[in-house]
Structure 1
């Protein structure tokens, strides 16, 4: 049986809903920016800047597989504007946390994406 459950929400409205909701699931001092991907209508680009002295920033590609499920991929990690090795334990822990927060945000937005 083919999957017919597709995302039917306007991408700009979805990005706006994410922009409102994602900060509520992140650490209070982290900053997030959510943009609609211009090439793919079911993709959002998420930029998260960590708080504090670390100055890390993370870029994620969030793809809607269907109206409820998202696939999250890390695109880039930077520190003070320079690429860093994302395989360190500290960065892996942050990546795991942010991926979990992104999934949490997607769950909170099920009412919007149905």
Structure 2
């Protein structure tokens, strides 16, 4: 398992995610993917929902190995104010976006799986 580490530059990976993730989320939603400066095997993903809801979801996406990612919710904001993400509607959105992030990771496997 130790040799199943990511073999791709973190910034290159973030750029690939930035290109690919919009294909998996709603057309009107916006996303930003950055390399996590404190963790070389992680990315920071921010998804801003469309419409007047103005929700912003921050996720940390860690590569467990070259194929599998672990997704953590870091923060949820509405109109730039942190809100409680434990409510049912928020949990539903978080589950949807988490699924889309996993789908994106699968779509990028030819890049990440050496």
TM tier, shorter chain? over 0.9
**Secondary structure of 1:61's match?**
strand
Matches within 5 A, 1:48-59: 48-59=47-58
Tell me how large the CA RMSD over aligned residues is: 0.8
**Secondary structure of 2:74's match?**
strand
Cα distance in 2 between the residues matched to 1:91 and 1:53: 15
Cα distance in 1 between the residues matched to 2:82 and 2:40: 28
**Secondary structure of 2:65's match?**
coil
Q: CA deviation at 1:58?
A: 0.3
Counterpart of 1:113 in structure 2 is 112
Matches within 5 A, 1:1-114: 2-114=1-113
Q: CA deviation at 1:4?
A: 2.3
Cα distance in 1 between the residues matched to 2:49 and 2:38: 27
TM-score by length of 1: 0.97
Cα distance in 2 between the residues matched to 1:95 and 1:57: 11
Cα distance in 2 between the residues matched to 1:39 and 1:50: 26
How many residues align structurally?
A: 113
> Any runs of at least 4 consecutive aligned residues in structure 1 with deviations exceeding 6 A, and if so which?
none
Cα distance in 1 between the residues matched to 2:109 and 2:59: 20
**Unmatched runs of 5 consecutive residues or more in structure 2:** none
**Unmatched runs of 5 consecutive residues or more in structure 1:** none
Q: CA deviation at 1:3?
A: 3.7
